[in-house]
Structure 1
Amino acid sequence: MINEKMKEAIQKYGEELTEIRRKLHSEPELSWEEVNTSAFVSEYLNNLGISHRKTEPTGVIAEIKGGKAGKTVALRADMDALSVVELNKDLSYASKEEGKMHACGHDAHTAMLLIAAKALNDIKDELPGNVRLIFQPAEEVGTGAKEMVKQGAVEGVDHAFGLHIWSQMPTHKVACSPGPSFASADIFTVTFKGRGGHGAMPQDCIDAAIVASSFVMNVQSVVSRTIDPQHPAVVTVGKMVVGTRFNVIAENAVIEGTVRCFDPETRDHIDKQLQVYAENVANIYGAVAEVDYIRGTQAVINDGYSAKLVQKVASEAFGEEVIYDEKPTMGGEDFSFYLDEVPGSFALVGAGNPEKDTEWAHHHGKFNVDEDGLATGAELYAQFAWAYLNE
């Protein structure tokens, strides 16, 4: 199942892999702004002679055509950075863009897929099928994958595979279990309208601050008291804007939050309950409520066959001890939109090492990856494609 030529090639390309990752890390671009990153990817693919096209505005779709007829497997990497201030100022490859940082590892994903593409291209005459390479923008805002699908990213594709570098797992470990992997990620906004007035005359007012506060305190019971405890869910209020000044009773309050779960019925239930809770809280105080619920990414549910193939590939490529049992995360991933179209799976590749200070949480300003794990990810990409096409 393991292609030894690719294994040797990826080891040989190790320094180049690190150099690419560091270049991308030092030059982060935000969602839908990945102009230079996609240009770099395009130039790299040109140098390899890999056919590709750019998507609007900043994606790249490439194809390695095998020497033999067969299926088509898609490999995906995301490219965008975050609006985060880099705190790793001592790194030689720290972000050069103030307030922008690859704080989630997408620089690593892009570098790993480029090197995987190079290794796959080396043996393309032996491939019984084709490998689609998807370099995706705007994962961090949850809209990039959907747009790439619209622009043909998985047309003619039989299977899709993606991965994420993971600082919460030890370096080199690989996790990919059948079933839920990442939660659906939705956004809600609740607007309360009361009646403002002088801070010394509450009897003449409807205090939106009191209404909003009551909602925040009570809405947690949607999860704790209306959902089966065996169906995990999270409702988080992350932002609340109320009032205008210290001595004016607030007329308006705006609350923003997120909902995470794995089960579609649970998702529908929370959507309805937010409306019910907002309206009832508003009615108690004589206020008016308006709820806007935006469905974001779907839950990432790994296909059983695909996840087991990932485990088999990882075991044969790196040893059985590499397999790691990582529980599903409530984090969101728009790889789900590819899985709406074709079967596939999404793996985690460990890059956490306390000796190298790479165990910081994703999206933190101190986030970094143990670069010893980059070759693991690059080879997993390549070997999975080889194994799938040879199944």
Structure 2
Amino acid sequence: MFRNSKFSTFLLLLLTYLANYRTESTNFDQEYAKEILSSAQQEKDWLVSIRRKIHENPELAFQEFNTSALIRSKLDELGIFYEYPFAKTGLVAQIGSGSRPVVALRADMDALPLQELVEWDHKSKLDGLMHGCGHDAHTTMLLGAAKLLHRRKHKLKGTVRLLFQPGEEGGAGASHMIKEGALGGAEAIFGMHVDFTNPTGSISSVPGPILAAVSFFEAKIVGKGGHGAAPHHSIDPVVAASYTILALQQLISREVDPLHSQVLSITYVRAGTALNVIPSSVELGGTLRSLTTKGLHRLQQRVKEVIEGQAGILRCTAHVDMKEEKFPPYPACFNDEGLHEHVERVGSLLLGAENVKKGKKVMAGEDFAFYQEVIPGEIFNIGIRNEAIGAVHSPHSPYFFLDEDVLPIGAAVHAAVAEIYLRNHSHF
């Protein structure tokens, strides 16, 4: 009886302590959310000016010299330590104690070979180049997070590494950053991408596979040219190419589990130009995609086998190039479940649960996947859709436009994701 009474008293005290702890923790989190969002909003003009300067002066993969110089100048003004260069034009800033735990945030810097067709005061000043995928916003939001985190550096329970990365658009810049040590001792990494399908002020993601493994290929089927009136004197590569294209379409429908997402698209065919001449060769090419990296590797192998085999059946020869030097294959993005839940919790805290949405898997590629092959990672989307200003077009469109209200929101989310991660994983 005495033991039961003592135990009951102890249990009551424990429950009271836990209830008070939860209340204090909730109050602290709410105050933190208000503070970080307020601080970020105060920097909106600063963020907008940076984003517009980057947008007006787009640079392609591994040519981001002016963008990199601008970032470094802002970090110098803020007194934030950084290392440079990584992957030719990239850099890594570091904020915090320098000790573990270490978490990384990443933004890409490169633009697209695209002519901007949006008429506004800050459109691209360079013909044929455009920030048509939002990397100018990614870079700006990470700079904003750097400023917010630097103000709170003495409160950080660990270290944040901020990766400003070149060459995402086909250059596999992430793989070069990794090889040159950009991750340092990071145990987790977060990335953020703008999303034209969701409204500004919302985020979305999914755990597990989210973006495809991607590669490209080109093939040349060689026969023997001749006059169209005497096809028996030729070895017709057009017929061989036709059979080849049809055979390639069977790889997905007949060799892949219907529950495994894969894509094979032939995107061009080039042959002769004369109406009465059978050409000596046909060129074709396209892209391969799979929600698993293993699936992409198998698809690459089968594409080569099918093209060479079909050409041989019709007495032609084939040369297949997977374009790995110019367009390195990207692995699939796979979001760590624990990090995904962390982003959802932080997003709910800052933006409200109603603005944390379930994301969609898509067959686009992202070189953030290279980081996820080394350490756990989470890439999530942040909404930029605003119909009133025309922010409704998809990335890689010449009409792509974004709502600049996203800039302080993204900066705050980036900063909070990192700071709360360190708080939750600190051993002190």
Q: TM-score, normalised by structure 1?
A: 0.96
Instruction: Name the residue aligned to 2:144.
Output: 115
- After TM superposition, give the deviation of residue 275 of structure 1 in Å: 2.2
Instruction: Name the residue aligned to 2:412.
Output: 379
Is residue 347 from structure 1 mapped to residue 380 from structure 2 by the alignment? yes
Is residue 57 from structure 1 mapped to residue 84 from structure 2 by the alignment? no
Is residue 226 from structure 1 mapped to residue 250 from structure 2 by the alignment? no
Q: Deviations over 1:247-277 (max 9, x none)?
A: 3311112222111111234223312221232
Max radius of gyration: which structure? 2
Is residue 14 from structure 1 mapped to residue 44 from structure 2 by the alignment? yes
Q: Deviations over 1:3-58 (max 9, x none)?
A: 34322210110121112111111110111110100000010000111111222421
Q: Deviations over 1:57-115 (max 9, x none)?
A: 2111111123x843111110000000000000x21110000000000000000010001
Is residue 181 from structure 1 mapped to residue 201 from structure 2 by the alignment? no
Aligned partner letter, 1:58: T
Q: Distance in 1 between matches of 2:168 and 2:157?
A: 31
- After TM superposition, give the deviation of residue 155 of structure 1 in Å: 2.0
Instruction: Name the residue aligned to 1:162.
Output: 191
Aligned partner letter, 1:353: N
Aligned partner letter, 1:297: Y
User: Does the Cα contact within 8 Å between 1:154 and 1:341 map onto a contact in 2?
Assistant: no
Q: Distance in 2 between matches of 1:268 and 1:151?
A: 26
Instruction: Name the residue aligned to 1:365.
Output: 398
Instruction: Name the residue aligned to 1:303.
Output: 336
Q: Which moved more, 1:13-22 or 1:39-48?
A: 13-22
Instruction: Name the residue aligned to 1:33.
Output: 63
Q: Distance in 1 between matches of 2:224 and 2:250?
A: 27
Instruction: Name the residue aligned to 1:334.
Output: 367
Q: Distance in 2 between matches of 1:193 and 1:108?
A: 46
Q: Distance in 1 between matches of 2:182 and 2:123?
A: 32
Kindly tell me the number of residue pairs found equivalent between the two proteins: 389
Q: Matched residue of 1:84: which SS?
A: coil
Q: Distance in 2 between matches of 1:237 and 1:151?
A: 35
Unaligned runs of 5+ in 1: none
Q: Deviations over 1:202-233 (max 9, x none)?
A: 11111222222222233111111211110011
User: Does the Cα contact within 8 Å between 1:78 and 1:135 map onto a contact in 2?
Assistant: yes
- Identity in percent: 38
Q: CA RMSD in A?
A: 1.5
Runs of 4+ in 1 over 6 A off after TM superposition: none
Q: Distance in 2 between matches of 1:180 and 1:172?
A: 24
More helix by share: 2
Aligned partner letter, 2:329: G
Aligned partner letter, 1:166: D
- After TM superposition, give the deviation of residue 342 of structure 1 in Å: 1.1
Q: Deviations over 1:176-221 (max 9, x none)?
A: 2210111111112222111112233211111222222222233111
Q: Deviations over 1:299-336 (max 9, x none)?
A: 01000000000000000111000111221110000011
Aligned partner letter, 1:13: E
Aligned partner letter, 2:96: K
Q: Distance in 1 between matches of 2:53 and 2:231?
A: 58
Unaligned runs of 5+ in 2: 1-28
Is residue 312 from structure 1 mapped to residue 345 from structure 2 by the alignment? yes
Q: Matched residue of 2:357: which SS?
A: coil
User: Does the Cα contact within 8 Å between 1:261 and 1:267 map onto a contact in 2?
Assistant: yes
User: Does the Cα contact within 8 Å between 1:59 and 1:136 map onto a contact in 2?
Assistant: yes
Q: Distance in 2 between matches of 1:183 and 1:277?
A: 22
Q: Matched residue of 1:297: which SS?
A: coil
- After TM superposition, give the deviation of residue 244 of structure 1 in Å: 5.4
Q: Matched residue of 2:405: which SS?
A: helix
Q: Distance in 1 between matches of 2:395 and 2:239?
A: 34
- After TM superposition, give the deviation of residue 291 of structure 1 in Å: 2.2
Q: Distance in 2 between matches of 1:54 and 1:142?
A: 19
Q: Matched residue of 1:219: which SS?
A: helix
